[in-house]
Amino acid sequence: MSLTSALKNPNSPMSRFLAAQLPTPDGVLDALRAQLPPRSATIAPQGAQRFNYRSLGRAIDRRLRVAFGAPVDAPLTAGVGFAPGEVAAASSRAEGRAVREAGQDLLAALTEQPAAHDGVMQAEAQAEERLARLCYAASHFEEVYRAGLFPGNPLLDLAAGDGLQELLNRVPDYVPDDLARQVALAQAANALGWVAQLPAQERLCAPVFAGSRDVGGADADFIAAGMLIDCKATIRPERIDGSAVRQLAGYLCSTIQTSTAWSSSACICPDKAGSSAGPSQSSCSCAVHTCPCPTFGPPASRPSALRCHPILPRGQ
């Protein structure tokens, strides 16, 4: 169970609470859709094979965190810790050891990656390709943390004696090009380049909330300059619905475990739909914390409203 899965269950305490306190998020959605271009320029992976959009989405999230100076976070570290035991149970101890070594080398390689400099996220071609493969490989460990080990996870394909390079070699060829094109668009000043230019203390990746355990896990994407930012991988940003708004509200219902405060929230429409722009001057407010949130205590220390700054989809 996680915040997103809790919101998918209409009978969960969080779903019932937000349905009562935020029954019609239409104002927020209208503000978002009003700023979408008539036709979004779509970025799609190239090739004839089936694409793993879930892993791609996690890979681009990881790539952005590298750019913002936080390449390794708690979900990835936990997945690297869990995966060897699960692989050993499913295959053999030798293969579990191979996964452990690959995971530790992956963490070390990601930690060594430099953050964006002067807002420029993209590295030279060879370095960018390797980084894309690292980010995609990281998604396999993150999947173990979030959902467990299931057939089809490439970690199960590592043989005894294999290491990180073998895992990187198994990354589909469409991944580096897809991530490189997205990073090129994301680094634009009117996309997410402004986040990379912020002082380190004004940006936070994968923030964890004090109430996270009550819903089985709730780590958001980013907080930048006081704005809570959530990225959605979609080729149809106009179809983003109330669940995205309620997800942001769910994060705001808990107290963040940091001194960083936020003033507003943003819904970024993109990973597969072109570039996203910086905060809009217009916003739409809707009260969501007039009552105590379930299990999270009184709302005194939390924001009193959700202010959603729609962010243009990529390709504008």
Question: pLDDT per position in the chain (316 positions), as tens?
Answer: 577 777 888 888 888 888 888 788 888 888 888 877 777 666 777 775 788 888 998 999 999 999 999 999 989 999 999 999 999 999 999 999 999 999 999 999 999 999 998 888 999 999 999 999 999 999 999 999 988 999 999 999 999 999 999 999 999 999 999 999 889 888 887 778 888 888 888 888 888 777 767 666 677 888 888 888 887 767 777 788 888 888 888 887 765 444 444 445 554 444 443 333 333 322 222 222 223 334 333 333 333 344 444 443 333 3
Dihedral (Cα; 157, 159, 164, 169), 10-degree rounding: -50
Determine the pLDDT at residue 152: 93
In order of 89, 255, 283, 293, 307, the CA distances from 247 in angstroms are 35, 15, 17, 14, 13
Largest CA distance in the chain: 57
DSSP 272: T
Contact between 214 and 253 (Cβ < 8 Å): no
Q: Is 203 helix (H, G, I), strand (E, B) or coil?
A: strand
Determine the pLDDT at residue 308: 41
Determine the pLDDT at residue 128: 96
Phi, psi of 122 (to 5 degrees): -80, 135
The Cα 295–Cα 215 span in angstroms is: 9
> What pTM value is reported for the model?
0.77
Determine the pLDDT at residue 282: 25
Nearest alpha-carbon partner for 101 in 167, 184, 187, 194: 167
Nearest alpha-carbon partner for 54 in 18, 13, 126, 4: 4
Contact between 80 and 141 (Cβ < 8 Å): yes
Q: Which two tokens stand for residue 75?
A: 């979900």
Instruction: Name, in order, each residue with C-beta under 8 angstroms of 312's C-beta and a sequence gap of 6 or more.
Output: 35, 36, 37, 190, 269, 275, 276, 277, 280
Nearest alpha-carbon partner for 287 in 251, 249, 243: 249
Burial classification of residue 62, based on how many CB atoms lie within 10 Å of its CB (0-12 exposed, 13-18 middle, 19 or more buried): buried
